[in-house]
Chains A and B, each alone.
Chain A
Amino acid sequence: MTDGLATHATVIAMDQPTEVTVGADFVLTVLLSCPAGCDLSGSPVEATAPDGVTTTVLPATGDADVAARRVALKAPLEVGEHVWRLCCTAHESDGWHHDASLVEVPVRTRPHETSLAVWAIPSPVMVGQPFAIKVGAKSAAGCNLTGMRIAVCDEAGAVLASDVLGDTPWPGTNALYWRELTLVAPAEAGMFSWSVKFAAAELALPHRGAVSYFSIVIARPPEHRLIVKVIEQKTEAPVENAQVRLGAYRAATGAAGFAEFMLPEDSYDLDVWKSGYEAPSTPIVIDADLTVEIAIAALPEENPDAVWLM
């Protein structure tokens, strides 16, 4: 306090995010005021970053009674809680002495997220056979993930395959770095849920790792040939490009209406799907080579107004 001169306090208030990602740019809004209502628009405010670098917080234009200022800051690259210090030094303003004030601004930083994609999974895969899938990882910050390791694990967490991500994002994506991994199917048939794991531990910018799951159907070796001919019910004409399904097995019919399968002995539901047609599900037992004919009914030609919409 200055001898013989009445003093006013200064108050610093602010609006700041409580949590940001590491390295993120963010804005702090600082409100400097005097309880007595003095104009502090020209008063000095400084922001000191966690690394000790001090920045002058300049007043915003057009704010008279309460000095609202915005200062752009950058979060540290380390995960944790970081403290900025805002200081208004003692000064004279509006003809009054104003005391210094100091506030601390804690901001927590979190790592960037990563996420995964798994695709081109063949289905079904024969027991014991090698096969390939594609796996990719994406940094929410768009970081280059080239060279980062990615792994496929079984249900117990054992690593089945591992490699590093390539140097070119998957076509059509912004930054999905990917790799094709070769795996070997288990010796038993069934449906398995495996995982892709990405630790993201070696990146300069902290990232949180990711896990994603996918299903894979492993089948016994085929024993019999099934030929399915799909015809239209009324005309008996072959139907091309109809999708024929027997559980995990699928094939599309050719121009002559035929689809061919190699299947292990088992009971199946034979389903046919083609847009604009209707077909019931047909139970079928495969214990020898077989040829079947499936008639599907053409639905009335689709007219956008067919349901009498206007």
Chain B
Amino acid sequence: MRNGEVSAKEVCEEAVLCAEELNPSLNAIITPMYDLVDKQIKGITKDSPLAGVPMLLKDTHHAYKGTPMSQGCEALKGVVADHDAEIVRRFKKAGLIVIGKTNTPEFKIGYITELKAFGPTRNPWDTKYSCGGSSGGSAAAVAARIVPFGSATD
């Protein structure tokens, strides 16, 4: 990407296509942000260290302004963040493109990602198995090669 052999738009579109194909069987991404990708790409500075690299955010702590953050909880469904978390601000500054938010157990408590509000996330290596937790959505998405990395809290 830095050498211009492939554009941020091409890489992010591929990540979104991969997410759309794989996520229905994994339930790793609970809040797609695909419609925000183009706007984010236009806003990046090309000499940022990770300019145009797609990533995912765990749906707790890592608030992204204007996007829902439910913390895995039915009671918090539809609560929209009114600010960027510091880590998200730094992700943006580094040029990363957030394509969605990932599943986590309620209040991120648990070694598995099986919650009532959004349903369980599956292990991409074998969907009969657990993906672990509490950053299970990010872990499953990375293991499925949807994105090179996702945020987590361990």
Asked if A and B bind, the verdict is no
Residues of A near any B CB (own CB < 8 A): none
Residues of B near any A CB (own CB < 8 A): none
